[in-house]
Chains A and B, each alone.
Chain A
Amino acid sequence: MAQYALVLLVALSLNFAIPRLAPGTPIDYLVPSEQVATITPEQRERVLAQFGLEKPLLEQYWLYLAGIVQGDLGYSTQQGRPVVDMLLERLPWTLVLVGGAIALSLVIGAGAGFLSAARRGGQTEVGGLVFFMFLDSMPPFWIGMLLLVLFSGYLQILPVFGALPLTGAGGGFGLTFEVAQRLLLPLLTLTLVRAGWLFLVARSSLAGELSEDYIVMAEAKGLSRRRVVGHGVRNALLPLVTAVAVEAGTVVGGATVVETVFSYPGLGRLIYESVLSRDYPVLQGAFLLLAVGVIAANLLADLLYPVIDPRVRAEGAR
């Protein structure tokens, strides 16, 4: 466990340093020259002071760490609103989108992967394999754009943007239907992209398992084809869990592009905009969330191992 704490600390320190590495400060973005009046030095000082950015770096670092401990992530230099509220507003949307995409891609991707491996019978199931390999190789923003044009542009059956209907669409069902409608395309895009990858993981790990001796035993016992494959699937779950955990970090990054295309107010887009506007507090807050998320995913994977494969319990963690 101590190691994970160390990793978190290092990640946080990097999150503190990286945005400050980039040229430009929040001030430049706050009062851009476009406002046709460059700001006087003393005004710059006053704005810096507001966000505590005029203090020496080390002091800022301690305040930053202390802030995290007390759960106070400071104010966004752009919105002027507490970072915690902003993140909490965005988190549900990202969780729904990213969580949904991972779950759906697991079901579709892994399911089809297992099916393809099970049907293998010596000669690889080419059709499904090629289809999913193609899926895995298409750029997400490109698919997103094409889906948007197809469903919202040509067929005009789906709304184009945002996450919530503008006017409150009445109570529970109406609202959920509207939200679902808006969630469909971004979710479909993210799922298609991830399903390809998970299909390949599932297919190759199950294919490996099906050549094991216990499968021969299962068939010899007279189990139906479905139950025999079931034996293999149990063992093939392990690499799948690891693949998802290892990928957890990049998913939100990947979602950034999709969220921008669909104007979906998730964490990804917030990070993208905050990077452009050098909004350090929001960036630090979002990175913190991400780092914790990734480490939690890996921790969860480690916990899941013994459940899926008792031998791991015997050998200790990874």
Chain B
Amino acid sequence: MSGTLLGRIGAATLILFVVAAVFAPVLAPYDPTLRTAQPFAAPSFAHLLGANDVGQDILSELIFASRLSLTVGIVTACLATVLGATVGVVSGYLRGPVDGVLMRGVDVILSLPFLPLMIVLAAFLGQNTTNLILVIGLLIWARPARLIRSQVLSVRESGHVQAARAMGATHGYVMIRHILPRITPLVAAQFVRTANVSIMLEASLAFLGLSDPFQKSWGAILFYANARSAFLADAWLWWVLPPGLCIAAVVVSFAFLGYALEERVDSRLRSILPASEPQKDNEAPTPVGGGTLR
């Protein structure tokens, strides 16, 4: 019961944000790049969330900002999950030297300090959105790869995969027909997790002033708010709270979706798997952001 309810809430919020992003020009009361009010104006009927340090309408900024955050979130998550899943499946299934090399590669990436790498790549590649997506995507696929691989390890031992191989199915066929469907819930969960991580990262980078300040994003709003000491003034109520809540809302709705997906898929899966199926795997099933496969 509660899974589907959460799922519905999550889906509804996400749709709300997507609509806001797509129809931003229509929904936003003002053009966020124009100065339509006094700097630091408090909320009023004309400006529901007041104005920022140069008099741009904060509500319009919020609405337009959803575009960047959602695109970064979704596109990066796709990139990272596809890359992570492929590496995970291939190395988990083939094992042997391929597995060794890929996993050591993953270890190296996991050991790289994240933020400095972002700064260096941002400085080196320039700060437009595509670079941001590439940079974040190429760095966070390592974790999903590791987790998906661990799942593939146990799925690989299961009865029907062995049977398929025994009947002469090629590796590619087995991977796509047998292994992939079994790990879709985990892959979906990893998609949710990487979406969360990339939205959070984009916001942190913008907050540290390391991404393009003219690109309207929730992180950029927080950067200006912090730099212009909004936290100290009463402005924190309408300048700092909303962008943070927007980020949290998008991230949590992804998590709700992931949770609902995991719960529905899990229960369906549980009935198909015959009792004798080896249930246990000792690798890290990830949480609701990445439900375990039973």
Pick from A8, A21, A203: contact of B287, CB below 8 A.
Answer: A203
Give the nearest-CB partner of B143 in chain A.
A246
Contact, CB under 8 Å: A286 / B113: yes
Give the nearest-CB partner of A142 in chain B.
B244
Contact, CB under 8 Å: B120 / A21: yes
Q: Quote the shortest CB–CB distance from A283 to chain B (angstroms).
A: 7
| B3 part of interface (Cβ distance < 8 Å) | yes
Contact, CB under 8 Å: B240 / A200: no
Expressed in whole angstroms, the Cα–Cα distance for A253 and B113 within the complex equals 6
Q: Contact string, B37-75, partner A, CB cutoff 8 A, digits 1/0?
A: 000000000000000000000000000000000000000
Give the contact-size bracket for chain B. 35 or more
Q: Contact string, A272-295, partner B, CB cutoff 8 A, digits 1/0?
A: 100110000001001100110011
Interface core residue of B2, B115, B203, B279 (most chain A CB under 10 Å) = B115
Residues of A116-168 contacting chain B, CB below 8 A? 123-124, 126, 129-130, 133-134, 136-142, 145-146, 148-149, 153
Contact, CB under 8 Å: A246 / B146: yes
Expressed in whole angstroms, the Cα–Cα distance for A142 and B225 within the complex equals 11
Contact, CB under 8 Å: B116 / A141: no
Contact, CB under 8 Å: B117 / A18: yes
Contact, CB under 8 Å: A6 / B248: no
B28-36, B129-137, B163-171, B251-259: which lies at the interface:
B251-259
Give the contact-size bracket for chain A. 35 or more
Q: Quote the shortest CB–CB distance from A282 to chain B (angstroms).
A: 11
Give the nearest-CB partner of B243 in chain A.
A142
Give the nearest-CB partner of A271 in chain B.
B116
Q: Quote the shortest CB–CB distance from A24 to chain B (angstroms).
A: 8
Contact, CB under 8 Å: B120 / A137: no
| A212 part of interface (Cβ distance < 8 Å) | yes
Residues of B109-134 contacting chain A, CB below 8 A? 110-117, 119-120, 123-124
Pick from A137, A211, A246, A305: contact of B196, CB below 8 A.
Answer: A137
User: Main secondary structure on chain B at its contact with chain A?
Assistant: helix
Expressed in whole angstroms, the Cα–Cα distance for A177 and B207 within the complex equals 32
Q: Quote the shortest CB–CB distance from A211 to chain B (angstroms).
A: 7
Contact, CB under 8 Å: B247 / A142: yes
Pick from B111, B285, B287: contact of A295, CB below 8 A.
Answer: B111
Contact, CB under 8 Å: A242 / B283: yes
Pick from B200, B231, B236, B284: contact of A239, CB below 8 A.
Answer: B284
Residues of B269-294 contacting chain A, CB below 8 A? 270, 279-280, 282-289, 291-292, 294
Give the nearest-CB partner of B287 in chain A.
A200
Chain B residues in 8 Å Cβ range of A295: 107, 111
Pick from A211, A243, A291, A294: contact of B284, CB below 8 A.
Answer: A243
Chain B residues in 8 Å Cβ range of A18: 112, 116-117, 120
| A78 part of interface (Cβ distance < 8 Å) | no
Expressed in whole angstroms, the Cα–Cα distance for A24 and B120 within the complex equals 11
Once A133-B256, A204-B292, A246-B143 are accepted as A-B contacts, the answer to whether A149 and B113 lie under 8 Å apart by CB is: no
Other contacts beyond A136-B255, A250-B114: 19, CB < 8 A = A23-B123, A136-B289, A138-B251, A139-B204, A140-B204, A141-B207, A146-B244, A199-B287, A201-B285, A205-B287, A242-B284, A249-B110, A249-B112, A256-B115, A257-B115, A272-B119, A283-B116, A298-B107, A311-B280
Sample 26 A-B pairs with CB under 8 A, ordered by A number: A3-B104, A7-B104, A23-B124, A129-B2, A129-B6, A133-B252, A133-B255, A136-B255, A137-B251, A146-B231, A146-B244, A200-B288, A201-B287, A203-B287, A204-B285, A204-B287, A205-B285, A208-B294, A260-B208, A268-B115, A271-B115, A272-B115, A291-B112, A298-B107, A298-B110, A312-B282
A interface with B by C-beta (< 8 Å): 3-4, 6-8, 10-11, 14-15, 18-19, 21-24, 113, 123-124, 126, 129-130, 133-134, 136-142, 145-146, 148-149, 153, 197, 199-205, 208, 211-212, 238-239, 242-243, 246, 249-250, 252-253, 256-257, 260, 268, 271-272, 275-276, 283, 286-287, 290-291, 294-295, 298, 305, 309, 311-312, 315, 318
B interface with A by C-beta (< 8 Å): 1-3, 6, 100, 104, 107-108, 110-117, 119-120, 123-124, 143, 146-147, 150, 196, 200, 203-204, 207-208, 222, 226, 231-232, 236, 240, 243-244, 247-249, 251-252, 255-256, 259, 262-263, 270, 279-280, 282-289, 291-292, 294
